[in-house]
Structure 1
Amino acid sequence: MQNAVLAKVPYGEEGCAEQHDSDLTAVIIDDCRPDLSLQRFALQANGRFKEIVEFNSPVRALEAFATKSLAADLILVDFRMPWMTGPEFILAYERLAASYKPTPHIVLLSAMPGAELKAYEINSRLLLAVCPKPVSLDTIETIVGKIQPDQ
């Protein structure tokens, strides 16, 4: 199942928090299955997402976005992956998403030490935050609090 959509998780799956009046969709892009599971759990626990879509390849995620068969309010993307890095994904996605409404927010996740990560300059109008892995429930709550639907 390499390089494929791993899962689409609609709201209502067991383990979700109470439902909010929201139509938010999240996309998780990470080549590490345990990290994908942890990120999905944190988003489900937040309760504000009607759908969570997972990819283990940034290339496949870009293909889905390019066909406009997928739209997202929030994209969580890993920094280090085979095929392309998180920053490379962000640049490629920006070229695709110039006319997308709503404009998605991207969060770059990294297990790199903070000092090493600061060496990278990532200039993107879509980049909402750079956060350490593993992602916590508090981190997701803070991120989601910054998202305004139809922005």
Structure 2
Amino acid sequence: MTGSYHTCLLIDDNYIDNFVTRRLLESSHFAEKIIVTESPTEAIKMLDNGTVKPDVIFLDIRMPLMSGFEFLDAYDKLAIAKTGIKIFLLSSSFDPTDIKRSTDNKYITHFIHKPLTYKILEELP
């Protein structure tokens, strides 16, 4: 994979998952810039004030204070251009309700079960 994207935003409350995913994204040259935050609230602020303009977002579902689905609700209310931004749910959840909610959400491009791998990256839509 060669730098398909300019900016990738990774939102996950787990430091170890972020470390591993970031290293994978960097070594695969997935994006020119990779921004990581453990706070979905902080991600919403960065998107809202324009400090981050991602082409792709990897979003965890189960996080304290704000879940991935709550992030998507807040994201929907942002007055930013959302066309061209791919959002991949990156989760360890096998809950059929989570999977159904992800397929029903207009912003979700694809649901990915953790861990992210090179093979999964190569097969992303």
TM-score (structure 1 length as normaliser): 0.72
Partners of 2:101 and 2:30 lie apart in 1 by: 30
Deviation for aligned residue 1:139:
1.2
Aligned to 1:41: 23
Partners of 1:33 and 1:83 lie apart in 2 by: 16
Aligned to 1:4: none
Deviation for aligned residue 1:71:
0.3
Aligned to 1:149: none
* 1:103 partnered with 2:45: no
Match among 69, 90, 103 for residue 87 of structure 1: 69
Deviation for aligned residue 1:26:
0.2
Aligned to 1:137: 118
Letter in structure 2 aligned against 1:134: P
The structure with the largest alpha-carbon Rg is 1
Q: Note if contact 2:56-2:85 (Cα within 8 Å) is conserved in structure 1.
A: yes
Match among 42, 45, 51 for residue 63 of structure 1: 45
Partners of 1:140 and 1:26 lie apart in 2 by: 13
Aligned to 2:101: 121
Partners of 1:56 and 1:135 lie apart in 2 by: 17
Superposition CA RMSD, Å: 2.1
Deviates more, 1:83-92 or 1:99-108: 99-108
TM-score (structure 2 length as normaliser): 0.86
Measured at CA, do residues 30 and 63 of structure 1 come closer, stay the same or move farther in structure 2, by a change above 3 Å? Answer: same
Partners of 1:39 and 1:80 lie apart in 2 by: 16
Structure 1 gap ranges (5+): 1-16, 147-151
Structure 2 gap ranges (5+): none
Q: Note if contact 2:56-2:87 (Cα within 8 Å) is conserved in structure 1.
A: yes
